[in-house]
Copies of this chain bind each other. A is one copy, B any other.
Amino acid sequence: MKTIFAEIITIGDEILYGQITNTNSQFISSELDKIGIKVSRQVSVSDKGNDIKNAISDAETRADVILMTGGLGPTKDDITKKTLAEYFDSGMHTDEKVMEWLHNFFTKRGRELSDLNKMQALVPDKCEVIYNDWGTAPAMWFEKFGKIFISMPGVPSEMKNLMTKKMIPKLQQYFKTPIILHKIVHTIGIGESMLAEKIADWEDNLPQNMGLAYLPNYIQVRLRLTGMGEDKEELEQKMQLQINTLLPQIEKYVFGFDDDTLEQVIADLLVEKRKTISTAESCTGGNLGHLFTKIAGSSRYYEGGIISYTNAIKIKLLGVNPATLDEFGAVSEQTVREMAEGVRKKMGTDIGLATTGVAGPDGGTNENPVGTVWIAYSDENKTIARKLTLVNDRLQNIQFASLLMLEFTRKNMN
C-alpha cells in the first residue's frame, strides 16, 4: 500500500506576526494521521497571492494532498479564492446553493446581506464546492493529475467541522485508504519513560499492523494503539485483545479509554453510584471545584466547596481543631483529614475531599518544601490521606494536585 503524503498551508499574516497560535495545522495533522495519511510538511505564508502560489506549487512537487486554511473572508485582504482560480486557470461563477445559504444565514441573524457578503457565493468553475454548514465561506476541492487541493476557512470551528465531517470521509474514499482504528488508554501518575519500561515486552511483540504512540501531557500519558487492516470488525477484535493483555500490567495507572477525561470519569462514577461530593481547598484555591463544575450537569452530584485559605477559616467553616493546626501545622496529614471530614459533614455530602500544601514560590520550609501537598478523601466508612511531592512551579502544583485528587477519589470510591 502506497503511503499518501499531505502538506498543510496555513494562510494569514496574524500567524507570521506571532499574534495567534497555529492550532489549525495541528488539528488537520492529527485528523490525517488517524486515517493513515502522512503529513510531511506544514507551511505558513502571508495573505499575498505570490506567496500562496509559490507555496502551492512547491507542495505539489512533493505531496498527494495539499490542504489550505485561511484567506476566505469577504474583505480585500482575503485572496485565497482568487489566487486558486488563477492557479488553476479557472473562471468564476456564482453558486446558487451558497447564495441561498447566505440569504438564510443573514436573515436569521436579522442582518442585511451586503454586496461584499454576496461575494462569498462566487466560486471557481474548476472546483467542487464543499458546503460549509457552520459559516459563510464555502470550502473548495480541486483535483489535478490525481492530486487533491483543499481550501477551507481559517476559523477553527468551521475548519474542524468541515475537516471531520466532509474532507476526511472524502479523502478516505478518494485514496481508498485502509481501515485505521485507534484505541486510547489514559494513564495518570506515571512518567512516559517508566511506562515505556513497564510495557516494553508487550510493545515489542505487537503485530506488524499495529503501532503504539506515547502522548504525554504532564502527569497524564495517553497510550494510543493504532491498527491498520482490511476488515474493521476483525481489526477491532484483535486490537481489543492487545489492550486486554496490556491492561493488567499498568492497571493502577489507567483511568479511562478513548474520549474519556479524568473529570468526566469521576462525574460518571458519581452519577452511577448516586453519591454527592464536596471540596475543601487550601493550596488548590478553587481549581478542584472548577474541575468538577466545568462538567455539564455537575449540579447532580457536586454540592459545593469551601476555599479555606487561612487557618481561621479552616477552624470556623471546616471545624478543624485549633490544636491540630498548632501541633502539626496547616500542611499535614492530620489537618487534611480534618478538612475532608469537616467539609463532608458541613455540606452534608457522601464524600468530602481536601487539599492543603505549599504551591510556591514562597512558603516552603525544610520539612515542607515547595511542592509538598497533602490530599484527603473522606466518606462515611473511611478517611484516607496521601502526601504528594510535586514540582517547583505554582500553577503546575495547583493543576497536578487537583488532578491527583480526582484520581485519588476514583481509586477510593466504593
Contact = CB atoms under 8 A, between A and B. Distances in A.
Closest 7 CB pairs of A and B: A286-B289, A285-B293, A18-B30, A18-B29, A286-B286, A305-B307, A42-B44
Contacts of A46: 40
Nearest to A293: B285
A372 to B, nearest CB: 16
B304 A310 contact: yes
A42 B29 contact: no
Most buried by B among A19, A30, A359: A19
A309 B313 contact: no
Taking the full assembly, how many copies of this chain does it contain?
A: 2
Interface of A: 15-23, 25-33, 38-46, 51, 55, 58, 213, 215, 279, 281, 284-290, 292-294, 296-299, 302-310, 312-313, 317, 346-348, 359-363, 394-395, 398
A285 B301 CA distance: 13
Contacts of A45: 40-41
A305 B317 contact: no
B398 A290 contact: yes
A293 B306 contact: no
A281 B293 CA distance: 11
Nearest to A394: B296
A184 to B, nearest CB: 13
A312 B347 CA distance: 9
A267 to B, nearest CB: 13
Contacts of A284: 290, 293
22 contacts: A15-B42, A16-B40, A18-B26, A18-B28, A18-B39, A19-B30, A21-B22, A21-B23, A40-B46, A42-B44, A286-B286, A286-B290, A286-B292, A287-B289, A287-B294, A293-B307, A294-B398, A299-B309, A302-B309, A304-B313, A312-B348, A317-B317
A39 to B, nearest CB: 5
Nearest to A318: B304
